[in-house]
Amino acid sequence: MTTLSLSVNGRTLGPFEVRDDLTMNDFLREQLGMTGTKFGCGAAQCLSCAVIVDMPDGSSHTNPTCVVPAANFDGKAIRTIEGHAKDGVLTPLQTAFIEHFSFQCGYCTPGFLNEGQVLLERLEKTPVPRATLEAVIAEALDGHLCRCTGYVKYHEAVRAVILADAGRYLV
């Protein structure tokens, strides 16, 4: 057993006593009841299970949860799909996913949403030229698998959010 304390969507939780072999995905879904984080391949191949990890230096990245022990997240700050909308108000990226019909079953959506949000926050700090935007979006979303709609509509939704506020994300 291991002790686990962490921040989830801005709330400090723990300490919990967790089994050494408990995955972060099971911890979120079974122990915290936060089922928005999905379990797809279970082999770190699809990223439907990815959550955002916020680092002390202010940077953020996504991390799969299906093959990673919950104990590895001790002391970490993470964000999940449940943390995006505030008081029932969707974020611009969530709204864009809906408007662009980016998903059908939605199983991959939490991973894409977390990845897209990380990209938006990165571009806010380090804007990129418009000419590189398509490649920047493609690279950011690379690795996320979707069996329903393909990838174009997710890409288009992320692009739309960026172009709608170009002064914020582009140089």
Which among 89, 93, 129 is positioned nearest to 111, based on CA atoms? 93
Q: Which span sits near ligand FES by CB under 6 A: 12-20, 26-34, 36-44, 122-130?
A: 36-44
Tell me the closest approach of the beta carbon of residue 99 to ligand FES, in angstroms: 15
Does the footprint of ligand FES cover residue 42 (CB under 6 A)?
yes
Does the footprint of ligand FES cover residue 45 (CB under 6 A)?
yes
In this chain, which of 6, 51, 108, 137 binds ligand FES, going by CB under 6 A?
108
Does the footprint of ligand FES cover residue 158 (CB under 6 A)?
no
- SS3 of residue 126 by DSSP: coil
Does the footprint of ligand FES cover residue 66 (CB under 6 A)?
yes
Q: Which residues of 25-48 are buried (b: 16+ CB within 10 A; e: fewer)?
A: bbbbbeebebebbbbbeeeeebbb
Helix H or strand E segment including 83: none
Does the footprint of ligand FES cover residue 46 (CB under 6 A)?
yes
Token duo for residue 8: 């989830």
C-beta separation of 140 from 116 below 8 A? yes
Does the footprint of ligand FES cover residue 107 (CB under 6 A)?
yes
* Chain residues that interact with ligand FES, rule: CB under 6 A: 39-42, 44-49, 64, 66, 103-108, 146-149
